[in-house]
């Protein structure tokens, strides 16, 4: 058994950035279930938001974030985000992230629902790749130990306090325990729960499942946004076509070539992303097609190739010149807004357990995330985690969110399910019943089926079987939260409750009755 000050699970921006700070405070081990660079971070395109522009201010960024969050942001967390963001950007620059510049200044672009240009980017639309490659190189040069292809399978506890991680080396099949003072969960999101997703294969909700099983609190699982436009080409996994493409004049057309968005919203293509995603879904149903088209053929080819070089190249590699032809697109699952509940220091409800990045829920995003606020959230709160671990008094003081509703996973009737349990069926179930447009009945059916599948799970033995178990548990938390929230708000839309309700301006928190 090995001992470290910090065991960090995951090697996306949250894991790598935390490790680079924590190495100055003690010994650090990163466990990651794939290669070091397999993660969602490297797929991030648009950029990272920070109020550093001439006409910008933390107050403006605060207001934009609160507005997007549809009444559920934690104002204290948002205040911290916008005030500390500029310093964290400086840190990334010092680590060597090559943000794009214009006339010697960091170049800023504007994205939907930001009132001014405030998005830093690198390599045009390859921001995540530059961040991931830069930080992973830094980590490799540092004393931080990295174990690749090591899957965390359990959070080890003693009297409710975290003492380490059990992990499976998926190359040897051997299990090992790593003891430590602090665990930082940085396991990313859960997009793989859905049939269509922009997420990397590693996004299977592991951190949520591990934390829940260990006894930590999970919150806001019903909020999962679906960006309107991911490439829909046979045999190609849904590749995100940035929403900024619509901002540059992209027009959405149905399979008959008709520009349909003005029929659904005054702002047409520039309507909020959830409105556009639902409109696309309705239009696909109306025309009996599994896609619509994004048209940028009227935009100057030079503008497209300089503003979106990564998207242009990716499509070209798949036989599609987007300056000349229409881009087939459809919505896809993208980002986990909920997660392991943390306070503004990244502390979970369990002493010794911290969570950072997409697997954590800091309360910054509320019910809907402002574009490009995710990467910045990661760096701001990861830094605070490492600061907190260096303080002498780390008593977990994570008070409940105002007016939170606490739940455990309800016992559901053991249902005779006709659908066989496997990954494609799980992903179809979530896509159909816990996806962009939900209903109470569909959510309850999904929750019943998932409970039945969970009961039938065999003992996990390898990475796929552990991941499947984690996905079923995360999916249950999502479906149950969706059943409970009888309203529509932000990224959660129900046909039987299409409006927001004041009584629901509160969070749903789940915790296990009998933690492992
Ligand atoms: C296509 C796309 C575009 C995006 N664009 C933007 C953008 O422009 N701006 C923005 O702010 N955000 C964007 N996002 C969101 C943002 O990229 C992510 O939220 C962020 O990168 C998450 O970082 P992370 O470190 O938390 O997770 P990840 O980068 O996903 O890393 C998770 C890590 O955990 C590891 N892991 C998971 N489970 C285990 C386990 N059980 N054991 C060991 N290791 C494990 C994984 O292997 C991986 O290394 C985008 C996301 C996608 C998918």
Span 465-494, pLDDT tens digits: 999 999 999 999 999 999 999 999 999 999
Residue nearest to atom 35 of ligand 1 (CA): 10
* Distance separating alpha carbons of residues 420 and 271, to the nearest angstrom: 39
* Distance separating alpha carbons of residues 133 and 177, to the nearest angstrom: 29
Residue nearest to atom 14 of ligand 1 (CA): 44
Ligand 1 atom nearest to CA at 45: 8
369 CB near ligand 1 (under 6 Å):
no
Catalytic residues: 273
12 alpha carbon – ligand 1 mean position (Å): 6
Residue nearest to atom 8 of ligand 1 (CA): 46
372 CB near ligand 1 (under 6 Å):
yes
339 CB near ligand 1 (under 6 Å):
no
Cβ–Cβ < 8 Å for 204, 210: no
Give pLDDT tens digits along the chain (516 positions).
Answer: 789 999 999 999 999 999 999 999 999 999 999 999 999 999 998 899 999 999 999 999 999 999 999 999 999 999 999 999 999 999 999 999 999 999 999 999 888 788 899 999 999 889 999 999 999 999 999 999 999 999 999 999 999 899 999 999 999 999 999 999 999 999 999 999 999 999 999 999 999 999 999 999 999 999 999 999 999 999 999 999 988 888 889 999 999 999 999 999 998 998 888 889 999 999 999 999 999 999 999 999 999 998 889 899 999 999 999 999 999 999 999 999 999 999 999 999 999 999 999 999 999 999 999 989 999 999 999 999 999 999 876 655 566 556 689 999 877 766 666 678 999 999 999 999 999 999 999 999 999 999 999 999 999 999 999 999 999 999 999 999 999 999 999 999 999 999 999 999 999 999 998 887
Cβ–Cβ < 8 Å for 495, 229: no
Cα torsion for 361, 365, 370, 376, to the nearest 10°? -50
- What distances in angstroms separate CA 250 from CA 157, 258, 272, 339, 439, one per listed residue? 52, 13, 15, 33, 31
Pairing of strands 339-341, 218-219: antiparallel
Give the residue from 63, 43, 434, 378 showing the smallest Cα distance to 240.
43
Residue nearest to atom 41 of ligand 1 (CA): 152
Give the residue from 144, 111, 113 showing the smallest Cα distance to 44.
111
* Distance separating alpha carbons of residues 341 and 468, to the nearest angstrom: 22
Cβ–Cβ < 8 Å for 325, 297: yes
Burial of 287 from C-beta contacts in 10 A (0-12 / 13-18 / 19+):
middle
201 alpha carbon – ligand 1 mean position (Å): 10
H/E segment holding residue 175: strand 175-185
* Distance separating alpha carbons of residues 364 and 82, to the nearest angstrom: 10
Q: Which of 121, 126, 128, 165 to mutate to test the pocket of ligand 1 (most atoms within 8 A of CB)?
A: 128
131 CB near ligand 1 (under 6 Å):
no
198 CB near ligand 1 (under 6 Å):
yes
3-class DSSP state of 315: helix
For the chain, how big is the Rg over CA atoms in Å?
Answer: 22
3-class DSSP state of 143: coil
* Distance separating alpha carbons of residues 409 and 282, to the nearest angstrom: 32
Ligand 1 atom nearest to CA at 121: 8
Q: Which of 8, 10, 61 to mutate to test the pocket of ligand 1 (most atoms within 8 A of CB)?
A: 10
Q: Which long-range contacts (CB under 8 A, 24 or more apart) does 418-421 make?
A: 419/449, 421/453, 421/456, 421/457
Contacts of residue 261, defined as CB under 8 A and 6 or more positions apart, other chains included, come to 251, 252, 268, 269, 271, 276, 279
Could you give the angle at the alpha carbon of 154 between the alpha carbons of 177 and 336, nearest 5°? 135
* Distance separating alpha carbons of residues 335 and 300, to the nearest angstrom: 31
Pairing of strands 360-361, 292-295: unpaired
374 CB near ligand 1 (under 6 Å):
yes
3-class DSSP state of 4: strand
132 alpha carbon – ligand 1 mean position (Å): 10
Burial 312-342 (b: 16+ CB within 10 A, else e): bebbeeeebebbeebbbbbbbbbbbbbbbbb
Residues present in the chain in total: 516
325 alpha carbon – ligand 1 mean position (Å): 31
pLDDT the model gives residue 413: 67
Residue nearest to atom 31 of ligand 1 (CA): 12
Ligand 1 atom nearest to CA at 10: 34
Q: What is the DSSP letter of 511?
A: -
3-class DSSP state of 205: coil
Residue nearest to atom 3 of ligand 1 (CA): 44
Cβ–Cβ < 8 Å for 65, 370: yes
495 alpha carbon – ligand 1 mean position (Å): 30
Give the residue from 238, 218, 237, 214 showing the smallest Cα distance to 228.
238
Cβ–Cβ < 8 Å for 243, 275: no
152 alpha carbon – ligand 1 mean position (Å): 16
pLDDT the model gives residue 509: 96
3-class DSSP state of 157: strand
33 CB near ligand 1 (under 6 Å):
yes
Complete DSSP assignment for 116-135: S--EE-STTT-HHHHHHHHH
- What distances in angstroms separate CA 73 from CA 64, 279, 331, 363, one per listed residue? 11, 26, 25, 5
3-class DSSP state of 195: coil
pLDDT the model gives residue 399: 62
Give the residue from 75, 166, 192 showing the smallest Cα distance to 516.
166
Complete DSSP assignment for 257-305: S-B-HHHH-TTGGGS-HHHHHHHHHHHHHHHT-S-EEEE-TTS-HHHHH
Cβ–Cβ < 8 Å for 123, 100: yes
Beta bridge partners of 155: 165
Residue nearest to atom 4 of ligand 1 (CA): 44
């Amino acid at each position: 058994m090995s001992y470290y000050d910090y065991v960090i699970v995951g090697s996306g921006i949250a894991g790598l950035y935390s490790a680079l700070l924590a190495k100055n405070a003690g010994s650090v081990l990163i466990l990651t279930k794939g290669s070091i660079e397999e993660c969602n971070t490297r797929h991030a395109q648009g950029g990272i938001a920070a109020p550093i522009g001439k006409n910008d201010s933390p107050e403006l960024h605060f207001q934009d974030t609160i507005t997007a969050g549809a009444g559920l942001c934690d104002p204290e967390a948002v205040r911290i985000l916008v005030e500390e963001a500029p310093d964290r950007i400086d840190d990334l620059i010092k680590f060597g992230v090559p943000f794009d510049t214009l006339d010697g200044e960091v170049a800023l672009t504007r994205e939907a629902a930001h009132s001014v240009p405030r998005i830093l980017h690198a390599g045009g639309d390859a921001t995540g790749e530059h961040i991931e490659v830069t930080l992973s190189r830094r980590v490799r040069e540092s004393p931080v130990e990295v174990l690749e292809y090591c899957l965390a399978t359990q959070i080890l506890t003693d009297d409710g306090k975290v003492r380490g991680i059990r992990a499976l080396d998926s190359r040897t099949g051997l299990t090992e325990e790593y003891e430590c003072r602090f665990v930082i969960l940085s396991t990313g999101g859960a997009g793989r729960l859905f049939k269509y997703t922009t997420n990397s294969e590693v996004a299977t909700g592991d951190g949520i499942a591990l934390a829940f099983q260990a006894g930590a609190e999970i919150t806001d699982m019903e909020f999962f946004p679906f960006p309107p436009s991911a490439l829909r080409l046979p045999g190609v996994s849904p590749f995100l076509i940035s929403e900024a493409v619509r901002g540059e004049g992209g027009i959405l057309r149905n399979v008959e070539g008709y520009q349909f968005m003005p029929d659904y919203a005054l702002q047409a293509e520039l309507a909020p992303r959830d409105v556009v995603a639902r409109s696309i879904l309705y239009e696909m149903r109306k025309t009996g097609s599994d896609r619509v088209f994004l048209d940028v053929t009227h935009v100057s080819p030079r503008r497209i190739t300089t503003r979106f070089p990564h998207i242009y190249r990716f499509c070209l590699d798949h036989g599609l010149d987007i300056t000349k032809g229409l881009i087939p697109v459809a919505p896809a699952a993208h980002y986990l807004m909920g997660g392991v509940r943390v306070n503004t220091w990244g502390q979970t409800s369990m002493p010794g357990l911290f969570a950072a990045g997409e697997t954590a829920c800091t309360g910054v995003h509320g019910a809907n995330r402002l574009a490009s606020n995710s990467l910045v959230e990661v760096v701001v709160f990861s830094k605070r985690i490492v600061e907190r671990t260096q303080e002498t008094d780390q008593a977990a003081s994570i008070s409940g969110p105002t007016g939170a509703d606490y739940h455990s996973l309800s016992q559901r009737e053991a249902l005779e399910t006709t659908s066989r349990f496997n990954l494609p069926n799980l992903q179809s179930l979530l896509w159909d019943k816990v996806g962009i447009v939900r209903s109470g009945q569909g959510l309850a059916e999904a929750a019943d089926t998932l409970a039945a599948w969970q009961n039938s799970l065999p003992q996990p033995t390898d990475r796929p079987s552990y991941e499947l178990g984690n996905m079923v548990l995360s999916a249950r938390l999502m479906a149950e939260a969706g059943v409970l929230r009888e309203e529509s708000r932000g990224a959660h839309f129900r046909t039987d409750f299409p409006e927001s309700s004041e009584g629901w301006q509160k969070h749903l928190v789940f915790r296990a009755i009998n933690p492992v």
